Structure 1
Amino acid sequence: MSTPITFPDGLPISAAVDEIRAALDAHQVVIVAGETGSGKTTQLPKICLAAGRRRIGHTQPRRIAARTVAGRIAEELGVELGDTVGYQVRFTRRAGRDTAIKVMTDGILLAEIAHDRDLRHYDTIIIDEAHERSLNIDFLLGYLKQLLPRRPDLRVIVTSATIDTERFSTHFGGAPIIEVSGRTFPVDVVYDPPSNPDADQVDGIAEAVKALHALGGGDILVFLSGEREIADAADAIAALKLPDVEILPLFARLSAAEQNRVFQPHRGTRVVLATNVAETSLTVPGIRYVVDPGFARISRYSARTKVQRLPIEPISQASANQRAGRCGRLGPGVCIRLYSEDDFASRPEFTEPEILRTNLASVILQMAEARLGPIEDFPFVERPDTHQVRDGLRLLTELGALAKPDARAGVQLTPIGRLLARLPLDPRLGRMLVEADARGCLKKATAIVAALAIPDVRERPADKQQQADEFHRRFWSDDPATASGQRDPSDINAILRLWRHLRTQRRELSGNAFRRLCRDEFLNYLRVREWQDLTSQLRDICKELGLGRTPTAATSDGDGLHISVLSGLLSHVGLVDTAAAARATQPTAKPGRRRPMAEYLGARGARFAIQPGSAAAKAEPPLVMAVELVETSRLWARTVAPIRAEWIEDVGAHLVKRQYSEPRWSASGGQVVADERVSLLGVPIVAGRTVSYGGIDPVVAREIFIQSALVEGQWRTRHHFFARNERVRREAEDLEERTRRRDLVVDDRALFAFYDERIPAGITTVAHFDRWWRDKRRADDAFLDLTFDDITSDAAGGLRPDDFPDVWTVGDTSVPVSYTFDPGQRHDGVTVELDVSLLNQVDAAPFTWQVPGLRLELATELIRGLPKATRVRFVPAPDWARRALDHLGAKPELSALPFPVALARALTALSGDPLTEDAFGVDALPEHLRVTYVVTDATLRAQESELGHGKDLAALRKQFAPALAQRLNAAAGELAHAGASNWQFGTIPETVELATTPSPLFGYPALVDLTDKVGVRIANTARQASRWQRLGLRRLVTLVSVDPTRSVFAHLSNETKFALAAGPYASLNALLADARLKATADLLARAGIDADRVRDEAAFARVVEVVRPDVANRMQQVVAIAGRILGRHQAVLRAVEGRPTDASLADLRAQLDNLVFPGFIAATPEPHFGALERYLQAAQSRVAAWTSHPAREQQGLEVIGALEDAYAAVVDRYDVGELPAEAAEVGWLLEELRVSLFAQSLGTAQPVSAKRVRSAIDALG
């Protein structure tokens, strides 16, 4: 370079050139402080060049500044840009090997450290605008402090506005500070706080503008916190209708043309409404007045929500002074602060450095790549909060960039982390490219990432918002149609659609036409070009890094692209709050009210809503990801796309937490399963899913497999050992049921231990087991076999299986027996199964003895049920029960009796005290000690075969007698006969054996009295058949004999006729017909004819010949006797007529009803028929003595009452007409006892006493 280096005289820094050069010679670090306009940015590199420095690195906070400054320096030095003076910004480099002054963004210098740890490419480094304290600036300042001892030749200049320069000096060990004053004029600061704290800030701004406009002489700059506030202020100022005023907004999202308007000449007064972009980054010309409300949106990282917020906060004193300085460039200015001086004094002196309010992920990444050690040991100008460091490490861990997230020990990068460190992008965006490379969609992803890395290309001018929205809706909408006609609520796809649209138009249109297209479609042309350029640059960088070699994905569904984007946004996932959504769909109280936006549950407890402009806003997908979470009035999600839970589980596998509950055995699946709940940073992405548990907790899964499949038997398997073990288990459990104990079968713990000892670790599923057992059984097929001893406890040792038989044999019949131990249930205890065909063949007595294993308990309980006065003689009951059973064992003849009868006799013999069966409370026995009879019908299906059940066999016989008779007669075929008035039955066998299922059915054919004819039917029992045969023969002989009734009636006296008419019969004819039957029966008995032997027509004819001659004479006798009986009966009734009912009268009436009733003539056999008159005479004498001998009446009543009760218990065991002859005789003996007790003078037919009657009753069993 031949042109001499000169310094403009008008710049304040020119006066300090020599001082600065001298400081550089004496010190490694020099701090140069000066306001905007002092010339430090353009002149310092020239001063260094003039001082002989030849490799000068000059950093700028912004790309536009780097390009502009480099151009200005080259112009002043008279050199070509890119030669002696060059610049480098992200993706753009105009500098060569001989470049002496290289202007770059601070991020570029930061990136160079990775491959040039000592920055040997530079001998001088200028860090400009250090007062902004950006993240990159603080990192460079810290790194340079470490580097300087290693590079004594290196010189560092730190420039700053006159803000906290002492901090920089202290950081570099007391580096000298050179003050360079700016070109400023006095500024009059006016404090004008609102009089009302609730007043609208916009009104204050409008009033301040109105006052400043009245002063005239310059433009007005109003600082506001955001676009909405600018729009509100513009409306308020326009409403003032100030003359010759132009209102211009100024904020980052404005189009380039709108931003440039503030630099263009104008007439009148201009009111510029700007965000804090005009505070230091841009110098707005012509400003004489400033209105400062005192607020700004400050980017701040929330440690709670882990998102970068943009809250509106009061600005610092330094920022307020910077704003005031904007109006002192041209001449004296006025700054109106819309807050009090005390408020100003209470504010922080400086704006908090970015490193204290941002996520440190990028810094940590670069430090790790440069191997600078732990971040907490790094010499930052101000050490970041440990929470911020932790958040940075957490983000890099989230992205899969760190192998060891430990700040103290130093972080180590994974292959993904090393790639992220080499990509000049935010780590989240870089992670998207790395994932896209793996999924074969890198080309599309570069376009998406480039769009996310720059400001939104869409423009929305305040006066054309509706038109802009219409154009943009083609790509962003709540329901844009895809090629398939489906709704697509993805902003990612919307960006891709816009990219393809612009790419197509760029190819088809000229440069100017494309520019016009962007303007007409409300797209920022420069940002579109930046997007296109950045996309190309990203693809080049990816190629240099070896990315893009994975074949492009063949699918077109976009899953791969969305998964790639998701990989960088795992902590920006949200699940729709269904509860809030349900409330939102309810009818509102006010019609027309807008439905509330859906709220999403985000990571670490955050809650956000989708920004209304998103394509997903109205669709409200259940699960979404957001590129940005920014907090303004609320937490908003920007650039949103729906996702699926399985995508999160894929790329977020290292972050998701899986909780498992209710591990259980699945018999159908042959494995242990559990309910899985998957969450990502607190967001539940899978609420409940059934998964295999074997790989999660093999130990527990194996335990459940053994317990459920093998111990509890929840396994459908064909393994032989399993069937054998089940059989042994059933045998043991059956023994418990029989013995009514629950301590015989070992508990599950013992069975578990058996299998646990034998089955290897790692066997958790049926498949695992089958593979192991296939080999093991070849060596020992019985390895897993349980023995009876394995499955039973020591308590089972003394039990005898014979005491609990499976079959109960009664005579020639064997019936199945089952056992149930289920107290309170109807089948608890012993159950005997009887086919209906066996009801008439088995005797009930043997079943009263119970099975041998329960007989001792039965005897004990019967003894305990004795009346207390009796029971005390048999204590302790178990001992007496054992003695009684031993006695019965020695008396086999007693085994035919019912057990209560036999037990009473045994106890009587052992104690010497008389005891009868009626003393036992049989009905009060525990249910399990009374046999349950189940009546079945083998001809029916198994599920319908049970006809009924009960504890009383006699009652069951009575209940099912019709059914049995029906079966018998149906099976008998031609043996049954509907009826005839003479013998038409051929030969009637005494018994028949009918082939029925399940066993032969035995029947007893007999004549049946049908009143006007006689038929043949099959009786259930021999006793029933004998009674039927006797009555049927009597009727048939009567039917074939000449009827003597007319003759008999003609010979009756009037007295007899009168007595007969007063009888219990319905008519006199009915009485005479009954007498005729009685006469026939008496003649048969006198002739010694056994009705059971009359089985054919010849035998019947012989009987008729014997009986026929004497029927009339015997009927005459019967009628005469009946007359006397009924006369005596009437006399007794007259004697008690009108007497109050008492015990004696009740007993007497019961006796009369038993003696005289319709049909009593034929029903009363000889010789008792003739004794009826005496019994009635005795009753008459008894009535007569009631008043004269009451004591005898009471004594006799007690005796007869006790015996009647005992006899009734015997009679009740039989159906009507089925009472055996020997039992009937005891009834007549009771009548003789009544004669003896109440009318002894009449005499008895045989010796009789209470004791004799008691013995006769006991003999009946």
Structure 2
Amino acid sequence: GEREIRETAETLRKHSFHRFHASIEILPLFARLSVAEQERVFQPGGARRIVLATNVAETSLTVPGIHYVIDTGLARINRYSYRNKVEQLLVEKISQASANQRAGRCGRVADGVCIRLYSEQDFQGRAAFTDPEILRSSLASVILRMKSLKIGDVEDFPFLEPPSPRMIADGYQLLAELGAVDDNRQLTATGWRLAKFPIDPRIARMILAAKQENCLHEILIIASALSVQDPRDRPFEHQAAADSAHRRFQDERSDFMAYLKLWDFFDDLLKHKKSGKKLMAQCRALFLSYRRLREWREIHGQLHTLMAELGFRPNEIPAGYDEIHRALLPGLLGNIGFKTEKEGEYLGARGIKLAIFPGSVLRKGKAKWVVAAELVETSKLYARCAAKIDPAWLERIASNLCKRHYVDPHWEKKRAQVVAFEQVTLYGLIIVSKRPVHYGPIHPKEAREIFIRSALAAGEYVTQAPFFQHNQALIQEIEELEHKTRRQDVLVDEQEIFTFFDALIPHDITNGAAFEKWRKQVEQQNPRLLYLQRELLMRHQAGHVTEVQFPEHMVLPDGSGLALAYRFEPGHPLDGVTLTVPLPLLNRLEAKQLDYLVPGLIREKITWYLKALPKQIRRMLVPLPESVTEFLVSHSNAVHPAPLADALAQFILKRTTLTVPPDTWPAEQIPLHLLMNIRVIDDAGAELAMSRDLGGLQRQLGQAAQQSFVKRGSANEKIAIERDQITSWDFGDLPVEVGFMRNGQPLTGYPALIDQTECVAIRLFDTREAADHAMRSGVRRLLCLMLKDQIKQLDKNLPGLKQASMQLASRMNPGDLKQDMLDAIIDRALLHDDPLPRSETEFTAQCQRARKRLPEVSSTLAKLLQQIGADYQTLIARLPTVRNERVKAELNEQLDHLLYHGFLGDTGWSRLQQLPRYLKGMTLRLEKLAANPERDQRNSTEVAPFWLHYVQRLEKHRKAGLHDGNLEEFRWQIEELRVSLFAQELKTPFPVSVKRLQKLWESMQP
């Protein structure tokens, strides 16, 4: 081939013998050489010549003066592969006849020498003759010609060397691809037209398509170009210059378009030529073969004449890219390719793999789909003269060759049709991967079955038809029974419903439109023809499912009703019973009420509790069903007297005298469907949170729930009892609770007085606890307003203030301490432990008691404060001597949380009395530190995690403006734990341990 010739020539030129024979000429000879280069072998000269020729050049030309022939015994033979449908130019061993012909080249004018680079044994083993061309070529053109001339079938023709049946079948296959023969291998109308063209059937098919696409002018140019050798020269020694000259003809999308640009360019040269000699010079300068350009125009002229004879008129308006390449495709369907993920690789028709020829504008592989003028196999399979195409063109152009596959037929509500995904392939290449199509016309029987099963039996049909509304309501009612009973054996299988409709609906009904048309006709005679009956849908009756056992609402103690929903789907978030609660009512829920679920499920829950008991207790309760019944009977009249676990523990204690261990029923082990699922919604019905942990929800949304409850809506929603600017009890009795409506929801609110500094106001709260907390501050403020003279006098003469100020000077300034004392005395004297007043009479009596208690409380608090100050002084006297920085830092932090501005009012009377003990405990810790620092370290390690939990949660609550009584209790239990670890001799008022504190913290988690 050309490459080997160039490499050999270069090697010979570099060889050392060339220095001693400077007159030796080395002349390559192959088709792509320019005419001038080819003619050098015929020009006389005195130098010795070495001619390096291809097989085609050697057999086509007689070069004079050849005395020596070196025969490699190989040739690149053009052979058509019927398997891959491509032209192969592979290197093969030549036949004996070809070898003898080569030897004859050196004996034309005198005896010569032929040197064969292979053995005589190899020569004797070769074929006598080269295979005839009919055995190496596609037979499509031969078959087409024989059919058109009516000279018989190619299978029966008496060839000297008949082609194989596979080659014949391949020829027919190509003609079928071109639309030239039918299934009976007879010429079609297209075939008869193609037979009139004296050119390759593929190119002829392009011309026929060009007439339809109105681009005959352009396709004639391209067709004639494909029939001749490429007129663009690319000399080896001037490749870069040639590429630069030819770049003007390139189109980045298509090599075919280059022929059109080159045609227009040469046509312009012809119009403006001054002489033939100058024209040829211009062509040479641009590396164009003038001879091949003329040959191209001659073939084009012949085709143009043929078009006139056939009555085809070329278009006058230039065609676009799409039209031109749609016209090319019918003749090149076997030459399409789809880019794979592998660099530079395309997947071709019938699974072949190919690459774009290096000389193509598409060589970088940017085009996803391509078509090529030819596929030629040399070192690899190359697509020559390629163009980018739209795969959508292929389905229309090659519809008879496309194969269609349908997957996943399914019902689509919106289209009211059974839809499948269609995959369209052409020669194994997917041109449509997943297109939804109406499946009814494709497979009516299967489409009808899917329509009945999905649209009617499964209820996925969108219609207002009375029969459908009735059927769905009936099915939903029965499904609700299944969810409530947690059994899936009530509603019949969909097959039963399918059978019902299958017997009624005609066989040609496959979609919603056809069904509606039929339904309206038959319902004129029988309006209830398609109505399902309860007896058909139920396997058995479910008489035990009653409103009492499975209520639709849960009634709160204040009479509010909250919706309940049932679902039987283990693993689903909504499995079990779901209580939907508006945000304003969240704080109203009580865990002990939710513990009992609904009557229809409580038996299963109690049974689980009993089965989870230790064996020695469980044995004393068998048979368990009877024990469950006994428990339910004994608690039938009680309205949730205690949490279920506590009630069961009491029941078991009475029955067995055995105590149930506290950790017997951990919440995380209870099956989810036996825990009430709580779904919190806002005013618009949007879900805010969902959990089976009521405490966690109330910690998460409790503040928001209270704000939502007390917020005022429009003016007509204002509650009558709410008042502002109150300075005396002039509003009559203050009820514990009031009922009102908000957003159409009946609510119960708890009124309370709230402190507004210069006055008080009446506001509603969502829980009694929140109302009581606010009421205490409100009553305190109103009492202060009523006793302002006495309080003013107390402010002037606080007992023990001077001494306490000196003792606690390092913690706070005297002014702050004075205010703290005054607030604490007022709180204790005015409220003490008395019940909060709810009427004017009670409030007046409270005023009188408060007035009498002020002196006594002042004296008591002064003594307590002096004790706190003394213990503090003892502690801080020892603290500077401590060298252990860890201990010093811990004690200082502890003091910061015990003694600070406002501690007297914040701490509360009962806790305030414990402060001296806590301070003494800190002093004892210092006394023990030197003797056993390791023990102090261990104790500190025990306390540290709890203190960190408290500080972090406290900071979080402060930022959110929350008050958490549980967190406050947790904080004081940490102080008691410190006493028990560092100063056991002081004792604690109740048992405390690390384990108890850990359990308390876990119960406080959201």
The TM-score with structure 1 as length reference comes to 0.53
Structure 1's 784 and 553: CA in aligned 2 closer, same or farther, altered over 3 A?
farther
Shift of residue 627 of structure 1? 1.8
SS of match in other structure, 1:300: strand
Shift of residue 326 of structure 1? 3.5
Q: For 1:236, which of 1, 4, 12 is the aligned residue?
A: 12
**1:332-354 deviation line (CA, Å, top 9, x unaligned):** 44333344333322322211222
Residue 356 (str. 1) matches residue 135 (str. 2)? yes
Structure 1's 1158 and 652: CA in aligned 2 closer, same or farther, altered over 3 A?
closer
Shift of residue 624 of structure 1? 2.2
Q: For 2:387, which of 633, 637, 641 is the aligned residue?
A: 641
Structure 1's 959 and 978: CA in aligned 2 closer, same or farther, altered over 3 A?
farther
Structure 1's 317 and 783: CA in aligned 2 closer, same or farther, altered over 3 A?
same
Shift of residue 316 of structure 1? 1.4
SS of match in other structure, 1:401: coil
Q: For 1:738, which of 476, 484, 496 is the aligned residue?
A: 484
Residue 942 (str. 1) matches residue 685 (str. 2)? yes
Shift of residue 399 of structure 1? 2.0
What is the letter of the counterpart of residue 265 of structure 2? H
Structure 1's 993 and 548: CA in aligned 2 closer, same or farther, altered over 3 A?
same
Q: For 1:535, which of 274, 287, 300 is the aligned residue?
A: 300
What is the letter of the counterpart of residue 384 of structure 1? P
Q: For 2:170, which of 373, 391, 396 is the aligned residue?
A: 391
Structure 1's 988 and 825: CA in aligned 2 closer, same or farther, altered over 3 A?
farther
Shift of residue 539 of structure 1? 2.9
Structure 1's 725 and 363: CA in aligned 2 closer, same or farther, altered over 3 A?
same
2:190 paired residue number:
416
Trace 1:379-778 onto structure 2 (pairs within 5 A): 379-404=158-183, 411-460=185-234, 469=243, 471-475=245-249, 480=250, 487-509=251-273, 512=276, 516=280, 520=284, 521-544=286-309, 546=310, 548=312, 552=315, 556-580=319-343, 598-617=344-363, 620-659=366-405, 661=407, 678-685=424-431, 697=443, 722-753=468-499
SS of match in other structure, 1:559: helix
Shift of residue 431 of structure 1? 1.7
Q: For 1:854, which of 583, 588, 601 is the aligned residue?
A: 601
What is the letter of the counterpart of residue 295 of structure 2? E
Please identify, of 969-978 and 758-767, the stretch whose mean Cα deviation from structure 2 is larger: 969-978
Shift of residue 818 of structure 1? 0.8
Trace 1:874-885 onto structure 2 (pairs within 5 A): 874-879=621-626, 881=628
Contact 1:674 1:693 in 2 (8 A): yes
Structure 1's 735 and 283: CA in aligned 2 closer, same or farther, altered over 3 A?
same
Give me the whole-angstrom Cα distance separating, in 2, the residues matched to 1:955 and 1:986.
33
Structure 1's 903 and 881: CA in aligned 2 closer, same or farther, altered over 3 A?
farther
Trace 1:39-50 onto structure 2 (pairs within 5 A): none
1:320 paired residue number:
99
SS of match in other structure, 1:636: strand
Give me the whole-angstrom Cα distance separating, in 2, the residues matched to 1:773 and 1:401.
49
Shift of residue 859 of structure 1? 6.0
Contact 2:452 2:501 in 1 (8 A): yes
Shift of residue 692 of structure 1? 5.8
1:347 paired residue number:
126
Contact 1:673 1:690 in 2 (8 A): yes
Structure 1's 344 and 731: CA in aligned 2 closer, same or farther, altered over 3 A?
same
What is the letter of the counterpart of residue 454 of structure 1? V
Contact 2:730 2:840 in 1 (8 A): yes
What is the letter of the counterpart of residue 610 of structure 1? I
SS of match in other structure, 1:297: strand
Trace 1:971-982 onto structure 2 (pairs within 5 A): 971=719, 973=721
Give me the whole-angstrom Cα distance separating, in 2, the residues matched to 1:314 and 1:848.
94
Structure 2: runs of 5+ lacking an equivalent: 713-717, 791-819, 861-907, 912-964, 967-1006
Shift of residue 250 of structure 1? 4.8
Structure 1's 656 and 1159: CA in aligned 2 closer, same or farther, altered over 3 A?
closer
Give me the whole-angstrom Cα distance separating, in 1, the residues matched to 2:95 and 2:732.
132
Trace 1:1127-1146 onto structure 2 (pairs within 5 A): none
Give me the whole-angstrom Cα distance separating, in 1, the residues matched to 2:12 and 2:306.
49
Residue 987 (str. 1) matches residue 743 (str. 2)? no
What is the letter of the counterpart of residue 329 of structure 2? L
Give me the whole-angstrom Cα distance separating, in 2, the residues matched to 1:559 and 1:965.
66
Aligned residue pair count: 817
Structure 1's 950 and 975: CA in aligned 2 closer, same or farther, altered over 3 A?
farther
Trace 1:193-204 onto structure 2 (pairs within 5 A): none
What is the letter of the counterpart of residue 343 of structure 1? D
Q: For 2:564, which of 805, 811, 818 is the aligned residue?
A: 818
Give me the whole-angstrom Cα distance separating, in 1, the residues matched to 2:563 and 2:536.
27
Structure 1's 512 and 1002: CA in aligned 2 closer, same or farther, altered over 3 A?
closer
What is the letter of the counterpart of residue 562 of structure 1? H
Structure 1's 397 and 256: CA in aligned 2 closer, same or farther, altered over 3 A?
same
Give me the whole-angstrom Cα distance separating, in 2, the residues matched to 1:383 and 1:633.
30
Give me the whole-angstrom Cα distance separating, in 2, the residues matched to 1:437 and 1:364.
25
What is the letter of the counterpart of residue 572 of structure 1? N
Please identify, of 387-396 and 699-708, the stretch whose mean Cα deviation from structure 2 is larger: 699-708
Contact 2:735 2:838 in 1 (8 A): no
Shift of residue 898 of structure 1? 7.0
Give me the whole-angstrom Cα distance separating, in 2, the residues matched to 1:253 and 1:1075.
118
Shift of residue 835 of structure 1? 6.7
Shift of residue 659 of structure 1? 4.8
1:29 paired residue number:
none
Give me the whole-angstrom Cα distance separating, in 2, the residues matched to 1:280 and 1:944.
89
Structure 1's 675 and 637: CA in aligned 2 closer, same or farther, altered over 3 A?
same
The TM-score with structure 2 as length reference comes to 0.65
Structure 1's 672 and 978: CA in aligned 2 closer, same or farther, altered over 3 A?
same
Give me the whole-angstrom Cα distance separating, in 1, the residues matched to 2:644 and 2:25.
123
SS of match in other structure, 2:131: coil
Structure 1's 736 and 626: CA in aligned 2 closer, same or farther, altered over 3 A?
same
Give me the whole-angstrom Cα distance separating, in 2, the residues matched to 1:693 and 1:747.
26
Contact 1:815 1:834 in 2 (8 A): no
Give me the whole-angstrom Cα distance separating, in 1, the residues matched to 2:475 and 2:72.
88
Give me the whole-angstrom Cα distance separating, in 1, the residues matched to 2:708 and 2:204.
96
Contact 1:900 1:917 in 2 (8 A): no
Taking only the aligned residue pairs, the percentage that are identical comes to 37
Contact 1:230 1:274 in 2 (8 A): no
Trace 1:954-1033 onto structure 2 (pairs within 5 A): 963=706, 967=710, 971=719, 973=721, 984-985=729-730, 987-988=732-733, 993-997=738-742
Shift of residue 751 of structure 1? 4.8
Structure 1's 276 and 977: CA in aligned 2 closer, same or farther, altered over 3 A?
closer
Contact 2:596 2:640 in 1 (8 A): no
SS of match in other structure, 1:579: coil
Shift of residue 275 of structure 1? 3.7
What is the letter of the counterpart of residue 875 of structure 1? V
Q: For 2:552, which of 785, 788, 806 is the aligned residue?
A: 806
Contact 1:830 1:928 in 2 (8 A): no
Structure 1's 524 and 775: CA in aligned 2 closer, same or farther, altered over 3 A?
farther
What is the letter of the counterpart of residue 686 of structure 2? Q
Rg (Cα) greater in structure: 1
SS of match in other structure, 2:399: coil
1:1198 paired residue number:
none
1:117 paired residue number:
none
Give me the whole-angstrom Cα distance separating, in 1, the residues matched to 2:348 and 2:677.
69
Structure 1's 514 and 649: CA in aligned 2 closer, same or farther, altered over 3 A?
farther
Give me the whole-angstrom Cα distance separating, in 2, the residues matched to 1:290 and 1:914.
119
Give me the whole-angstrom Cα distance separating, in 1, the residues matched to 2:38 and 2:736.
125
- Aligned-residue CA RMSD (Å): 6.0
Give me the whole-angstrom Cα distance separating, in 1, the residues matched to 2:554 and 2:708.
25
